[in-house]
């Protein structure tokens, strides 16, 4: 989202300035008016490429902001003045950029600005929800409670992220390793197999031919492939930075099998957690919905919350637009409809929060199982395509040796060769010819045959048989001379 620099006046006529992110000037003005500010000027700030690069490097992590909040609330409850508390936190912070931010906040407060106004100058460090809750705490005189809730909210968000990352880290590493290994195999290993396969001089199975074609294409067109991948990635990020592209991407993420459910569960869990905190803070429901929709990170969910906000503003309640959006479980929608008459608004948030967390963790475990299964199938497929030809070749040589031995036995007992190779499968000989016992056995016990009873080689072709010399060769390709 673009960043805007604004100047407003509060209800006492005092001038307040700051920086805020929003979709457009109109959206920012509407948001400031909802917070009972009178906008004076709103201007979009354009950053140069070096500034964007420095902004990328100068980051403050969520864990650092949580630690800042937790330490600040501890100092405030201990009775330490705000300026002295911020100065102490500045000395403890290791992040150089965050240290400069706290130092500038101290300067702003010393010049007469409030803590929320000082925080609003750094929207990349403190999001809009953080600033709004601090502002509400300043107005109600419950700053320490607000900071404590913000710290708890941030810690729970970190816990959710860590659980999702820890559950998906192993499958991600395995899939990336498999992709790298497959690239190396296609580029360097398969060409050596190709030279070996050419020496067999017989048709290759379809999976092996596909693998060899992929290897040849990768070795011949790898510069084009790299440029295509780079262009696709660049175009994708360019697309999702547009309004229509962002709408398409967010809708696609929610519709993807398995992953869509996980994204929706994490988003709704965050929504219910933030809503519960804001309800306890005493903020109006319309302002809560306006703040919460900016924390979802999904345009589809934001639009659903906008419809809910419009319904509430018109006095129609929450339950009907929640049901129409199809994002909320039916149990939660029913509870919202019931609680409307009992003036309780927090129970459904707790229910939705717990339900989405449990379903989210179950989805993560299912994704891990699917990833492991995918790796197993990929490895087995590669082994099958590379080894199938070698196994068939070995089976063919063994089968030829068995048939030739059977022909020699036939010639030894019958003093001639069979007129038809099928005779090896039907005629029998005595294993004990020099005794009174009779033990009959077929020359070829078992073999794969076609409808007419001719034996087939491992490649599915009939053997070529010459009864005049008693020689047999594969019908796929004659390897040896007669």
DSSP 208: H
Query: Residue 54 pLDDT > 60, yes or no?
Result: no
Query: Residue 87 pLDDT > 80, yes or no?
Result: yes
Q: Is residue 183 situated within a structural domain?
A: no
What pLDDT, in 10s, does the model give residues 263-317? 777 777 777 777 777 777 777 778 788 777 777 778 888 888 888 888 888 877 7
- Work out the mean pLDDT of the chain and round it to a whole number: 76
Reported as a pLDDT band with limits 50, 70 and 90, residue 205 is low
The helix/strand/coil state of 436 is coil
Same-domain status, 264 and 347: yes
Same-domain status, 311 and 401: no
What pLDDT score was predicted for residue 1? 53
Q: Is residue 164 situated within a structural domain?
A: no
Q: Is residue 192 situated within a structural domain?
A: no
**Residues above pLDDT 70, as percent of the chain:** 76
Same-domain status, 354 and 393: no
Nearest to 72 by CA among 130, 120, 18: 130
Q: Is residue 175 situated within a structural domain?
A: no
Given 307, 340, 360, the domain boundary residue is 360
CATH number of 322's domain: 1.20.81
Query: Residue 25 pLDDT > 70, yes or no?
Result: yes
Q: Is residue 40 situated within a structural domain?
A: no
Domain count, the chain: 2
Query: Residue 353 pLDDT > 70, yes or no?
Result: no
Q: Is residue 466 situated within a structural domain?
A: yes
Query: Residue 49 pLDDT > 70, yes or no?
Result: no
Helix axes 243-255, 259-280, angle to 10 degrees: 110
Average pLDDT over residues 450-470: 78
Report d(CA 36, CA 51) in Å as an integer: 32
Gyration radius (Cα) of the chain, Å: 37
Same-domain status, 401 and 351: no
Which range scores top for mean pLDDT: 50-64, 362-376, 386-400, 443-457?
443-457
Query: Residue 51 pLDDT > 50, yes or no?
Result: no
Q: Is residue 307 situated within a structural domain?
A: yes
Range of the domain at 465: 388-473
Pairing of strands 38-45, 3-9: antiparallel
What pLDDT score was predicted for residue 156? 79
Query: Residue 232 pLDDT > 80, yes or no?
Result: yes
Q: Is residue 308 situated within a structural domain?
A: yes
Q: If residue 10 lies in a helix (H) or strand (E), which one and from where to where?
A: none
Report d(CA 150, CA 446) in Å as an integer: 77
What pLDDT, in 10s, does the model give residues 358-400? 666 666 677 777 777 777 777 777 666 666 666 666 777 778 8
Nearest to 386 by CA among 193, 191, 178, 187: 193
């Amino acid at each position: 989202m673009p960043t805007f620099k604004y100047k407003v006046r509060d209800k006492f006529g005092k001038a307040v300035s700051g920086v805020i992110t929003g979709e457009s000037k109109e959206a920012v003005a509407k948001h400031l008016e909802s917070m009972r500010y009178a906008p004076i000027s709103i201007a979009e700030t354009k950053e140069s490429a070096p500034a964007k690069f420095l902004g990328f490097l100068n980051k403050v992590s969520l864990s650092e902001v949580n630690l800042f909040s937790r330490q600040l609330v501890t100092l405030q409850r201990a009775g330490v003045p705000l300026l002295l508390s911020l100065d102490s936190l500045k000395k403890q912070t290791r992040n150089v950029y965050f240290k400069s931010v706290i130092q500038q906040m101290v300067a702003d407060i010393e010049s007469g600005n409030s803590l929320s106004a000082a925080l609003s100058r750094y929207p990349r460090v403190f999001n809009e929800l953080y600033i709004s809750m601090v502002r509400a705490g300043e107005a109600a005189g419950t700053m320490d409670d607000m900071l404590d809730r913000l710290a708890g909210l941030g810690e729970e968000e970190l816990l959710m992220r860590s659980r999702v990352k820890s559950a998906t880290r192993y499958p991600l590493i395995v899939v990336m390793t498999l992709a790298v290994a497959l690239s190396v195999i296609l580029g360097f290993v398969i060409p050596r197999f190709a030279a070996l396969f050419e020496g067999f001089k017989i048709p290759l199975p379809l999976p092996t031919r596909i693998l060899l074609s992929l290897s040849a294409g990768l070795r011949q067109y790898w510069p084009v492939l790299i440029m295509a991948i780079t262009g696709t990635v660049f175009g994708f990020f360019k697309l999702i930075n547009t309004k229509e592209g962002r709408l398409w991407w967010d809708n696609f993420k929610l519709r993807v099998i398995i992953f869509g459910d996980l994204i929706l569960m994490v988003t709704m869990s965050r929504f219910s957690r933030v809503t519960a905190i804001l309800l306890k803070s005493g903020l109006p429901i319309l302002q809560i919905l306006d703040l919460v929709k900016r924390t979802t990170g999904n345009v589809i969910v934001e639009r659903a919350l906008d419809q809910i906000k419009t319904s509430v503003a018109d006095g129609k309640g929450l339950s009907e637009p929640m049901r129409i959006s199809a994002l909320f479980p039916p149990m939660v929608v029913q509870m919202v409809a019931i609680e409307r008459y009992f003036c309780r608004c927090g129970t459904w948030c707790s229910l939705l929060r717990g339900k989405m967390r449990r379903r989210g963790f179950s989805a993560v475990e299912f994704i891990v199982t699917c990833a492991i299964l995918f790796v197993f199938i990929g490895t087995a497929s590669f082994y099958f395509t590379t080894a199938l030809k070698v196994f068939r070749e070995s089976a063919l040589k063994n089968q030829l040796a068995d048939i030739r031995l059977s022909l020699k036995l036939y010639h030894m007992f019958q003093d001639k060769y069979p007129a038809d190779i099928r005779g090896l499968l039907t005629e029998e000989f005595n294993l004990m010819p020099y005794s009174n016992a009779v033990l009959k056995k077929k020359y070829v016990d078992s073999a794969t045959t076609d409808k007419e009873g001719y034996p087939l080689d491992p490649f599915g072709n009939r053997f070529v048989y010459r009864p005049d010399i008693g020689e047999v060769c594969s019908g796929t390709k004659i390897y040896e001379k007669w």
